[in-house]
Amino acid sequence: MAVSEKDCLFCKIVRKEIKADIVKEGNSFIAIKDINPVEPGHVLVIPKQHYTTLLDIPDRLGEEMLKFAKQIASELLEKKLGDGFNIIMNNLEPAGQLVMHAHIHIIPRKEKDGIRFFVKVLGKK
């Protein structure tokens, strides 16, 4: 369901109406620590303008967003928060999107960290 900019959680974080642990801030994006991290160092890259999903983000901004995400990911490796990383984006509710303001998850990974994504539960529809 679409959410107005006024009521949107991530817009409120961008406007600094709600506190967040900001990792990096640029002209068009903000990176914050996820409040419920899969692993320490789990970061969300959020466009400052409100877009619901990846498909709503203009191509040019999408390229910039990936560039911004790459910076965060390389810093994560430099800081040894992980030896690898996943970049994940949930788009719309069936894909697990809970906050309807487009964002990219960057999740640090280590060998045998026990994290598994995209496990299909057999028999579950």
In the complex, which residues of this chain contact ligand AMP (CB under 6 A)? 9, 20, 32, 34-36, 44, 90, 96-99
Binding at 96: pick from Zn ion, ligand AMP, none (beta carbon under 5-8 Å per type): ligand AMP
Q: Is 102 in the site for Zn ion (CB under 5 A)?
A: no
**Under 8 Å between Cβ of 104 and 27:** no
**Under 8 Å between Cβ of 41 and 108:** yes
Its sign, for the CA torsion 74, 111, 33, 100, is positive
Which amino acid would we find at residue 8? C
Binding at 65: pick from Zn ion, ligand AMP, none (beta carbon under 5-8 Å per type): none
103 is catalytic: yes
Q: Which is nearer to Zn ion, 42 or 50 (CB)?
A: 50
Q: Please spell the DSSP secondary structure of 32-76, one letter per residue.
A: EE-SS-SSTT-EEEEESS--SSGGGS-HHHHHHHHHHHHHHHHHH
Q: With CB under 5 A as the contact rule, which of the stretches 26-34, 45-53, 55-63, 86-94 interacts with Zn ion?
A: 45-53
Binding at 54: pick from Zn ion, ligand AMP, none (beta carbon under 5-8 Å per type): none
Active site positions, annotated: 103
